[in-house]
């Protein structure tokens, strides 16, 4: 994989050589994986597992359309930030599936035939 990304490989090798104290924080970058692949993560194994647990939880970030930018948990429990006497609220709002589809695929784009998208 690194052979396909020579610029990235050069920067990675520089980083590993010149910043060994930071490189030691990168989890398992030296351990070969399947097909000579490597895992390059700033998270250690236990933190990566916790992150993936939340990310792949349908009540949190995983949806039928992919990974949400904001946790669904904020639907019932909005986040409120208080600053200088003001309350700023972050709330999850479920997407409108019809609108999300039409926004992702404009009428006629990438379609063949005479079917209508309305």
pLDDT in tens, 9-38: 898 889 888 988 887 777 666 677 777 777
The residue among 43, 19, 16, 48 whose CA lies nearest residue 30 is 16
Q: Are residues 57 and 83 both part of a single domain?
A: yes
Does residue 83 lie in a domain region? yes
In a domain, 109, yes or no: no
pLDDT digits (tens, 9 = 90+) for 31-83: 777 777 777 777 777 888 899 999 999 999 999 889 999 999 999 999 999 99
Residues 12 and 23 in one domain: yes
pLDDT, position 59:
92
Residue 110 lies in a domain: no
* Domain that residue 16 falls in: 1-42
Q: What is the pTM of this model?
A: 0.50
Question: Residues 6 or more apart from 48 whose CB is under 8 A from it?
Answer: 27, 41
What is the number of domains present in the chain?
2
Position 16 scores a pLDDT of: 82
């Amino acid at each position: 994989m690194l052979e396909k990304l020579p610029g990235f490989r050069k920067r990675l090798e520089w980083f590993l050589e010149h910043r060994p104290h930071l490189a030691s924080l990168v989890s398992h970058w030296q351990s070969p994986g399947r097909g000579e692949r490597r895992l390059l993560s700033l998270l250690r194994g236990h933190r990566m597992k916790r992150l993936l647990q939340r990310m792949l939880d349908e009540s949190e970030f995983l949806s039928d359309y992919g990974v949400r930018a904001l946790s669904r948990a904020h639907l019932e429990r909005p986040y409120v930030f208080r600053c200088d006497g003001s309350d700023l609220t972050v709330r999850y709002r479920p997407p409108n599936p019809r609108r999300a589809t039409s926004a992702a695929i404009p009428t006629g784009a990438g379609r063949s035939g005479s079917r209508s998208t309305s």
